[in-house]
Amino acid sequence: MKDLFFSLPEAVVVGNGEFPSHEIPLQVLDSSSLVICCDGGANSYIESGRTPQFIIGDGDSLSTDNRTRFADRFLHSSDQETNDQTKAVRYLHSKGIRRIAIVAATGKREDHTLGNISLLQEYLHMGMEVTMLTDYGFFVAVRGTQTFKSFAGQQVSVFGLQTQGMRSQGLKYSLYDFTAWWQGTLNEAEGKEFTIFTEGEYLVYRTYQKKDSNLL
């Protein structure tokens, strides 16, 4: 497996979004010893030839066939206050698991994409260490001054969430306390690592590849 710039997770959550097609989220998924599917995500996961260990949700998005076939591993949760992604994360948290990956969280309804990404901050508050992997890159939610692995030319976006005095070292454009999401996008790593200095919380997105203007 490529150098992924993050520790391999103890478990992977498969969300309700677009099932991954990029090799990196697929490799993370297939190298995990524990996979839990949100019920909308289970159908695609099963169609891809894989077998879920657990499926969580209220079951309304699971096909009748899969509901019967995987009844023994279905964790029913009809809590209307959270989405299926959060139910999966809370389940893993209750089992003492902290370092997880989430795949298939983006790529369909954009309001779900925004919601799922922003929930990374809630998981940070729970003490979870979450990497959300998409077909283009990966998000982490972090707090305070941190150094991130990178490569020269890696595309980086930083989404501040009430930061104070944010600045950076090793990024092409300097950071500041953003007041809109777009202000931290389109940055680039200069070398093998970069550091973000701040007291607040923020999301960092890094792409798998250098900028390819014809593709991205």
Of the pair 107, 170, the CB lying nearest a second copy is at: 107
| Residue 216 binds a second copy (CB under 8 A) | yes
Pick the piece of the chain touching a second copy (CB under 8 A) from 28-36, 68-76, 92-100, 174-182.
174-182
Rg from Cα positions in the chain: 18
Chain centre to alpha carbon of residue 122: 12
Report in angstroms how near the CB of residue 169 gets to a second copy at its nearest. 20
Tell me which of 21, 48, 63, 169 binds a second copy, using CB under 8 A.
63
Report in angstroms how near the CB of residue 50 gets to a second copy at its nearest. 19
Torsion of CA 39, 40, 44, 45, to 10 degrees: -30
| Residue 180 binds a second copy (CB under 8 A) | yes
| Residue 171 binds a second copy (CB under 8 A) | no
| Residue 113 binds a second copy (CB under 8 A) | yes
Contacts of a second copy in 21-60 (CB under 8 A): 40, 43, 60
Tell me which of 118, 145, 147, 195 binds a second copy, using CB under 8 A.
118
Of the pair 34, 151, the CB lying nearest a second copy is at: 151
Burial (CB count within 10 angstroms: exposed 0-12, middle 13-18, buried 19+), residue 216? exposed
Contact positions toward a second copy, by CB under 8 A?
16, 40, 43, 60-61, 63, 83, 106-119, 121-122, 134, 136-137, 139, 155, 157, 159, 180-182, 185-186, 205, 207, 213-214, 216
